[in-house]
Structure 1
Amino acid sequence: MRPRAPRPTAARLTRTAVATAVVTALTTLAAPAAPAAPADTGTTAHLTGTLPDGATWIADVPQRWNGTLLLFSHGFGPTVAQDAPSDAARTELLTEGYALAGSSYDPNGSMWALRSAEHDQFATLDAVTAKIGEPRRTLSVGQSMGGLVNAQLARDGAGRIDGALGLCGLVAGGTDLDNYQLDAEYTIARLLLPGQQTALVRFGSAAEAAATADRLTAAVTAAQSTPQGRARIALAAAYLNLPTWAPGRTAPAPTDWSGQEEQQAAWFAQGILSFVEGGRYAIEQSAGGNNSWNRGVDYTRLLAGSSHAPQVRALYRAAGLDLDADLGALTRGAAITADPAAVRTAERTSSAGQGLSVPLLDVHTVADNLVPVEQEHRFADRVRAAGDGALLRQAYVRRQGHCAFTTAETVAALHALEHRVTTGHWDDAAAADTLQRSATALGLDGAAYIPYRPAALTVGRDRPAYPAHH
């Protein structure tokens, strides 16, 4: 077990304000709500406890336990114990005989709880097994930010867990996240709010983060009314790795550039920047400062590496705008620097991909607005570089939204992971067609697994080198 990192020295979160903003954004953006714990019944035992750091844990154990314990890592938001990704998934998993457990993480710190999450999950495992006995098998499952926690458990959990299932995981880590989000925020501020001072990093309060989100969102809303504004929105969306397929819409054609931008604008209109800025504030609180930077970033080169570059170029031509001029202005004005200690803390607490010790299956929707599917590309590169590519498999669902999986898709992925743990081989268990057949055969709520290969993440920085803030 890795030692627990010290508590942040930065000021604590204004938790009520941030929690309200985050929960509102999650609801607006169709992220899953926190599942409620089921009441005790004659067939399921519901257990609770508290860890030394104040984190709480829960567990649900069916009367006919199949011997497998699922350790669930929840996503970003209020630090409340959860043991399944949704109510429906919990019901199905308990019906199949799995025991479920999960912690809140440390409730006294930031909602970006990476400084305590891995430690608290392992401590939860100890606490639960002390009450129910040693499981025949332990599998970790993580969702969103919890997918990053899950990847850390898969890295460090040899002898504690046997395999891991990641759902919509934020596996590129906190610094990559903050950096590509900074590129998008900076583009909106510089090109759509020229001459105005807009705080983008080092937020002093939740209110300051929310004010930035409101200002940037209003700028995008206003810009959508002109061809020039829409072209610049597309540029910001490219840096944000924002999908071109929004909820309730038909996916636009590959060369329907204006249709793609319209759906990206719909994501902005639904409040994605409120989530971005609230998340940045929480990460800064956890890391003890700003862990992102754009000084030295070449925005021309950055766009050239984006899968959205053809769309941006086409919309700039149609609008009669000089793309090179905008990119040059962005590059010349890039002056935001990082706090070295915060970068080091985020690297230590909020990253993964430095190797795997157990098999990991990651599942992602192809149009994820909050954790872009391109994060899986970045993560896989790191796992392969560590020599552990054979332990990793990734699967994709053709759907819009963050963590928008059916229960059938989740359970089928779990069964595929179990195949790997039982046999020692993936075979074709994690292939799209196999997962689709397995999920459909469950007769639950459908499935949409497809063969897919994500594009590279547009981030333009390698870690851990960074320009220092003085």
Structure 2
Amino acid sequence: MPDTTAPARGRTRLKAAGAAIAAGALLAVALPASPAAAAETEYTGTLASGAEWSFVVPDDWNGTVLLYSHGYRPSFAGSANPAQIAPNDGTGDLLLDMGYALVGSGYAGRGWALPTAVDDQLGSLDAALDVSGVEPEHILAYGTSMGGLVTGRIAETAGDVIEGALPTCGLMEGGVDLNNYQLDAAHAINQLLDPEHDIQIEGYGVTGLGSAFAATGALLGAVGAAQATPEGQARNALAAALFHLPGDDSGSLQEWQESMYGLLQTTIGFVTAGRYDIETAAGGNGTWNTGVDYAKLFQSSEDRKLVEKLYKQAGLDLKADLELLTETADIEADPGSVETLFGHSGLTGDLQMPVLSLHTTIDILAPVQVEEEYAEDVRGQGDAALLRQMFVERDGHCAFTPAEIAAGIVVLEERVVTGHWSGASSSVPKLNKLAASLDESGSAFVSVPPQEFLADRNMM
């Protein structure tokens, strides 16, 4: 029997009366209501895949269901995998107060869940509607981080069910380019900071999680030792720029470098082991740098001038270092793994519905530059009219206020209902005014087009 206890969110709930229902891939349970009826009805269940789902319907439901896709949960950091219907309590409470019904799953398992995530989400939606008897007027999808990528996949595959999508802080470059931009930075660290040791920077899915942890330690050790010298500081800054890390350049050049170094350490510590899960889902190495011209690639970096200044101060030849990176770029991908990874984690830009993406201007785990890559893909498919992108001036991965998420939902829903984008979709003052009308949590919408995403291998 599935666990029918949903995560506590500080709200009183009404549990719907009912009985266990078994139907194909579905096992669902509804519990009897207490005599004192509360403001919401919650339904829970478990799919045959093992994905737990939850569906919460407010008593003043507005007719719209929001399908939420959550972010990455490392396979090696616990076993609990509960359903999730919102990015956090505050956002979930606000959306319920606005009358939206919320549904989401925990996916079939932890780790890089893309192989099953779309099916898990759509299956959970089907199960929730079947068990509850709810007949929505509109269904919108939204998600955060890895869940933003899941939402992007839904936007390209589920137009017969979902009417609009809001990917937030999404990995909108897709799984292949995600792997490749992280590989570029690791390659720079290995070749420029620790060339005497052949640090493993790919293949963790084959050699095991322990090798990913060992690589994390080796990469951190290399950047830590390098930070002690001006030469090492310049090269750390180059590696950080390849990671698209947004150092604080409001102060001196040295302060900018130190902020980049701190972010570099944090990023290495998170993404290296995470690549183990991605490679496992791909069935092998889906990343490569053969044929990459690092001088050409780095030419488009928004941090290029600051890195050049550090190299000049250190008496180093940046051109020579970039040539070395190009000469030593010999990592080849397994073609089958690339095909598999793109098959479940790629985005083509071929949209089946309106999409409104949301990103903070500073995000070390999903760099805002991925939005440039996504928009390029969508334009290439001739679907630019279906896409709008909103940006929030804030430092942090998925660091949105409830008001900002709610504003995005309202703008997207209006596009679905009316068939055209409202003025708020392209007006920062109108967006901030809308957010303020929805909640007191604040908003910081800005108009800041992202710079070039560096690791688009199609651009080489």
TM-score by length of 1: 0.86
- The answer as to whether partners of 1:53 and 1:106 remain within 8 angstroms in 2 is yes
| Aligned ranges 1:4-23 → 2 under 5 Å | none
Q: How much has 1:268 moved relative to structure 2? A: 2.4
| 1:427 positional shift | 2.8
Structure-2 residue corresponding to 1:119? 119
- Residue 262 of structure 1, CA deviation: 1.7
Query: Shift of residue 80 of structure 1?
Result: 3.2
Give the match for residue 63 of structure 2.
Answer: 67
CA contact (8 A) 2:185 2:243 kept: yes
Give distance in 2, aligned partners of 1:96 and 1:442. Answer: 9
After superposition, the Cα gap between the structure-2 partners of 1:308 and 1:200, relative to the gap in structure 1 and judged at 3 Å, is: same
User: Shift of residue 260 of structure 1?
Assistant: 2.4
Cα separation, 1, equivalents of 2:439 and 2:158: 33
Match of 2:113, as an amino acid? A
Over 3 Å counting, the alpha-carbon distance change for 1:272 and 1:39 in structure 2 is farther
1:186 counterpart residue number: 187
Classify 1:236/1:458 alpha carbon distance in 2 versus 1 (closer, same or farther; 3 Å). Answer: same
User: How does 1:169-318 map onto structure 2 within 5 Å?
Assistant: 169-203=170-204, 204-245=207-248, 252=250, 256-269=252-265, 271-318=266-313
Give 3-state SS (helix, strand or coil) of 1:429's partner.
helix
Equivalent position to 1:371, from 342, 366, 370? 366
How many Å apart are 1:90 and its aligned residue?
0.6
Write the deviation string for residues 213-266 of structure 1: whole angstroms up to 9, x where unpaired: 122112222222221111101111111111124xxxxx626xx43332221112
For 2:142, the equivalent position in structure 1 comes to: 141
SS in 2 for 1:171: coil
Distance, in Å, in 1 between the alignment partners of 2:12 and 2:203 is 43
The CA deviation string for residues 398-426 of structure 1, in whole angstroms up to 9 with x for no partner, is 01110001111111111111121121111
Shift of residue 39, structure 1, vs aligned partner: 6.3
Structure 2, unpaired ranges of 5+: 1-5, 15-37, 75-80
Gap runs ≥5 in structure 1: 1-33, 246-250, 466-470
Q: CA deviation at 1:105?
A: 1.2
> Within 2, Cα distance between the matches of 1:233 and 1:297?
20
> Is the CA contact (8 Å cut-off) linking 1:57 and 1:104 kept in structure 2?
yes
8 Å contact 1:302–1:460 — kept in the other structure?
Answer: no
Equivalent in the alignment of 2:448: 452
Q: Percent identity?
A: 44
CA distance in 2, matches of 1:427, 1:189: 49
SS at match of 2:215: helix
Pair 35,334 (structure 1): closer, same or farther in 2 beyond 3 Å: farther
Indicate yes or no: 2:430 matched with 1:430. no
In the TM superposition, what is the alpha-carbon distance from 1:45 to its structure 2 partner?
1.7
RMSD in angstroms over aligned alpha carbons? 1.8
Ranked by relative contact order (alpha carbons within 8 Å, sequence separation 6 or more), the top structure is: 1
* Structure 1 residue 442 corresponds to structure 2 residue 438: yes
Moved more, 190-199 or 174-183: 190-199
Report the residue type matching 2:212 in the other structure.
A
| The one of 351, 359, 362 aligned to 2:357 | 362
Q: Distance in 2 between matches of 1:225 and 1:442?
A: 49
8 Å CA contact 1:362, 1:394 repeated in 2? yes
| Matched residue, 1:23 | none
**Cα deviation per residue 1:425-458 (whole Å; 9 max; x = unaligned)?**
1131212221111112234211110111000101
Count, aligned residues:
421
Q: Is the 8 A contact 2:349 2:383 kept in 1?
A: no
| Superposition deviation, residue 161 in structure 1 | 1.0
Tell me if 1:326 matches 2:327: no
Deviation at 1:306, TM superposition (A): 1.4
Amino acid at match of 2:95: L
Q: Aligned partners of 2:12 and 2:236: how far apart in 1?
A: 47
TM-score (norm 2): 0.88
Distance 2:280 2:8 in 1: 28
Q: Indicate the SS of the match to 2:57.
A: strand
- Structure with higher Rg: it is 2
Q: CA deviation at 1:197?
A: 1.9
Corresponding position: 1:40 with 2:40: no
Q: Given that residues 353 and 380 in structure 1 are in contact (C-alpha distance below 8 angstroms), is that contact kept between their aligned partners in structure 2?
A: no
Change (3 A) 1:259 1:412: same
* 1:298-344 CA distance string (max 9 Å, x none): 11111112111111111100111111221121111111110110000
What is the match of residue 84 of structure 2? 82
| Aligned-partner SS, 1:457 | coil
Find the residue that maps to 1:116 and give its secondary structure: helix
Partner of 1:130: 130
